[in-house]
């Protein structure tokens, strides 16, 4: 029940619930990955059941695809969709220009492809995800398994000439084994602490042989919806240059919470 949720989960739910209102029948929608995005998928599933909302969802990971199907959302591939009206996803960090770090869940490759194949990207977040400068959250870099140690060395060398505070590079693990993405790749986490020039860093890292994609989303996000634990919601539209406020009610009877 909503009353039993932690304040952070209430904030995530508030952002997800408000962002789901941007979705209209007939849309093809990119469905993000992560804890906040999971709330959004549940909110859309509730609308599908209760309002007859008709959408086609393009998930950004196998776990999102499984949840979407469980919620009664029709799932299609990006190739089938061709182009999307909207993508809604979470973020690990965002700054004042709505640049993001994503990939804490290891799905940033598919997330970036889906987001850039959309007319708009809406990010849903709690207030703790807003930062003055990106970089406190480790930056994920997806690399192919072949020669990954050489790729890591090249990444470490590239960081020497960049405006960052930290330069530690670690291989992401899943227990005692390396973490493996949906594409069968590995992830290097860059512990940079502060990124002075995200655009430069993104361009340089992606030029290194063996790197598939990094978790910096530059000039991709259009709107951020920030939820608070008391139901308040702030909507920032960087394209329109507007900031709006709203409120989401927590209804104890919502089907959304029946299996939490």
Parse the chain into domains and list their residue ranges: 2-130+219-257, 139-214
The reported pLDDT for the residue numbered 192 is 98
The reported pLDDT for the residue numbered 5 is 86
Spatial CA neighbour of 115 closest among 95, 97, 93, 90: 90
Burial of 75 (0-12, 13-18, 19+ CB in 10 A): middle
Strands 74-75 and 56-59: parallel
Is residue 32 within 8 A of residue 64, CB to CB? The reply is yes
How many angstroms separate the Cα of 252 from the Cα of each of 5, 14, 66, 146? 11, 14, 25, 51
Q: Residue 104, annotated ligand binder?
A: yes
The reported pLDDT for the residue numbered 1 is 42
Q: Residue 106, annotated ligand binder?
A: no
Q: Residue 10, annotated ligand binder?
A: no
Question: 33 by DSSP, 3-state: which?
Answer: coil
pLDDT tens across the length of the chain (260 residues)? 455 789 999 999 999 999 999 999 999 999 999 999 999 999 999 999 999 999 999 999 999 999 999 999 999 999 999 999 999 999 999 999 999 999 999 999 999 999 999 999 999 999 999 999 999 999 999 999 999 999 999 999 999 999 999 999 999 999 999 999 999 999 999 999 999 999 999 999 999 999 999 999 999 999 999 999 999 999 999 999 999 999 998 875 455 554 44
Please count the other Cβ atoms lying within 10 Å of the Cβ belonging to residue 111: 32
The H or E element spanning position 81 is helix 78-81
Question: 78 by DSSP, 3-state: which?
Answer: helix
The H or E element spanning position 197 is none
Sign of torsion, CA 241 246 250 254? negative
The reported pLDDT for the residue numbered 42 is 98
Sign of torsion, CA 211 123 220 95? negative
The reported pLDDT for the residue numbered 198 is 98
2-130+219-257 CATH pick, 3.40.50.720, 3.90.330.10, 1.10.3720.10, 3.40.50.1360: 3.40.50.1360
**Cα–Cα dist 236/78, whole Å:** 27
How many angstroms separate the Cα of 114 from the Cα of each of 109, 145, 197? 9, 23, 24
């700054």: which residue's tokens?
Answer: 95
Q: Residue 64, annotated ligand binder?
A: no
Phi, psi dihedrals of residue 70, rounded to the nearest 5° = -60, -35
Q: Find the catalytic residue in 46, 93, 111, 213.
A: 111
Q: What angle separates helix 198-205 from helix 148-159, to the nearest 10 degrees? A: 150
How far from each other are the two terminal CA atoms of the chain, in whole angstroms?
Answer: 8
In eight-state DSSP terms, residue 241 is T
To the question of domain 139-214 being in CATH 3.30.70.260, the answer is yes
Q: Residue 202, annotated ligand binder?
A: no
- CB-facing half-sphere around the CA of 79: CA atoms within 13 A: 0
**Does the fold of domain 139-214 match that of domain 2-130+219-257?**
no
Is residue 55 within 8 A of residue 26, CB to CB? The reply is yes
Q: Residue 11, annotated ligand binder?
A: no
Angle at 96 between CA 172 and CA 188, to 5 degrees: 10
Residue 213 appears among annotated catalytic residues: no
pTM for the model stands at 0.94
């Amino acid at each position: 029940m909503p009353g039993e949720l932690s304040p952070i989960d209430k904030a995530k739910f508030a952002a997800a619930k408000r962002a789901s209102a941007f979705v209209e029948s007939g849309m093809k929608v990119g469905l993000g990955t992560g804890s906040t995005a999971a709330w959004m998928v549940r909110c859309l599933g509730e609308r599908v059941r209760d309002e007859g909302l008709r959408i086609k969802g393009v998930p950004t990971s196998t776990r999102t695809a499984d949840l979407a199907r469980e919620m009664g959302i029709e799932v299609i591939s990006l190739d089938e969709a061709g182009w999307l009206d909207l993508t809604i996803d979470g973020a690990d960090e965002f700054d004042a220009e709505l640049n993001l770090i994503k990939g804490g869940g290891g799905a940033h490759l598919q997330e970036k492809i889906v987001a850039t194949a959309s007319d708009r990207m809406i990010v849903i977040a709690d207030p703790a995800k807003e930062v003055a400068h990106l970089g406190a959250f480790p930056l994920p870099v997806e690399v192919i398994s072949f020669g990954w140690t050489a790729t890591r060395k090249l990444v470490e060398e590239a960081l020497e000439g960049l405006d960052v505070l930290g330069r530690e590079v670690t291989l992401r693990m899943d227990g005692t084994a390396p973490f493996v993405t949906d594409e069968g790749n590995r992830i290097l986490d860059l512990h940079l602490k502060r990124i002075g020039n995200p655009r430069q860093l993104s361009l340089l890292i992606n030029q290194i042989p063996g790197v598939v994609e990094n978790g910096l989303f530059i000039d991709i996000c259009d709107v951020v919806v920030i939820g608070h634990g008391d139901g308040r919601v702030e909507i920032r539209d960087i394209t329109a240059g507007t900031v709006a406020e709203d409120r989401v009610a927590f209804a104890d009877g919502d089907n959304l919470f029946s299996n939490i």
